[in-house]
């Protein structure tokens, strides 16, 4: 079964394919509504019909299923997906919501593991992750800060990645996001 986490990797990969060097993710989960915003500084998305399964800028595979599948996942729960351009020719913001209390909602899956995969797969990309609740927004990961602190050029050390994964898991759990539905 596809989980929200499975979609996450696809979305991050879209930013990578658009040659982003920085990806900022904001996650919130409040009153059953999971909200995710992903902002990148890659080349701007061509916004016409990107959620049509036949629209892709890929050269290697003819149909792109990432956004159409995500769209049906979120809209199946009454949520929405919105892709917008930040500037004329660079930067994309993707935002989606999922009603996790809806009977058709998919489980969260292992979101921290997806971020760790992303850090490992694209060490040259800087990530910032924020979580938001009703009261405040809090940064829970900033790879630039972490690299400066640890005096590293890239984050590839298994122990460091494991530690980041555990921290992310702890912070997401605090706002009710665990591998299952998170609605307890």
Ligand X SMILES: Nc1ncnc2c1ncn2[C@@H]1O[C@H](COP(=O)(O)OP(=O)(O)O)[C@@H](O)[C@H]1O
Burial of 8 (C-beta count, 10 Å sphere; 0-12/13-18/19+):
buried
Residue 45 or 131: which CB sits closer to Mg ion? 45
Output the CA torsion 140→36→24→148 (10° steps). 20
Residue 3 or 178: which CB sits closer to Mg ion? 3
Residue 92: which of ligand X, Mg ion, none does it interact with, CB under 5 to 8 A by kind? ligand X
Residues 80, 63, 89, 131, CA torsion sign? positive
Q: How far is CA 15 from the centre of its chain?
A: 10
Closest distance of CB 154 from ligand X, Å: 22
Six-digit token pair at 164? 């980041």
Closest distance of CB 166 from ligand X, Å: 28
Residue 122 or 181: which CB sits closer to ligand X? 122
Closest distance of CB 16 from ligand X, Å: 9
- Reported for 75-79, long-range contacts at CB under 8 A and 24+ positions apart, including other chains, are 76/102, 76/104, 76/105, 77/102, 77/104, 77/105, 78/102, 79/33, 79/34
Interatomic CA distance for residues 95 and 179, integer angstroms: 21
- Residues lying near Mg ion in the complex (CB under 5 A): 10, 14, 66
Residue 180: which of Mg ion, ligand X, none does it interact with, CB under 5 to 8 A by kind? none
Residue 68 or 165: which CB sits closer to ligand X? 68
- Residues lying near ligand X in the complex (CB under 6 A): 10, 14-15, 18, 40, 42-43, 45-46, 50, 55-58, 64, 66-68, 92
Residue 14 or 28: which CB sits closer to Mg ion? 14
Residue nearest to ligand X (CB): 64
């Amino acid at each position: 079964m596809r989980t929200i986490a499975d979609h996450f990797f696809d979305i991050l990969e879209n930013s990578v394919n658009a040659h982003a060097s920085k990806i900022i993710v904001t996650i919130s989960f409040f009153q059953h509504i999971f909200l995710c915003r992903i902002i990148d500084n890659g080349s701007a998305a061509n916004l016409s019909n990107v959620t049509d399964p036949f629209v892709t800028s890929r050269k290697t595979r003819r149909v792109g299923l990432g956004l159409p599948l995500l769209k049906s996942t979120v809209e199946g729960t009454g949520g929405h997906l919105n892709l917008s351009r930040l500037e004329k020719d660079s930067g994309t913001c993707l935002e989606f919501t999922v009603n996790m209390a809806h009977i058709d909602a998919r489980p969260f899956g292992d979101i921290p593991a997806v971020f760790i995969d992303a850090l490992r797969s694209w060490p040259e990309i800087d990530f910032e992750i924020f979580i938001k609740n009703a009261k405040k927004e809090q940064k829970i990961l900033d790879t630039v800060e972490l690299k400066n602190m640890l005096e590293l050029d890239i984050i590839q050390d298994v122990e460091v990645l494991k530690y980041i994964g555990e921290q992310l898991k702890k912070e997401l759990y605090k706002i009710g996001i665990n591998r299952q539905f998170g609605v307890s």
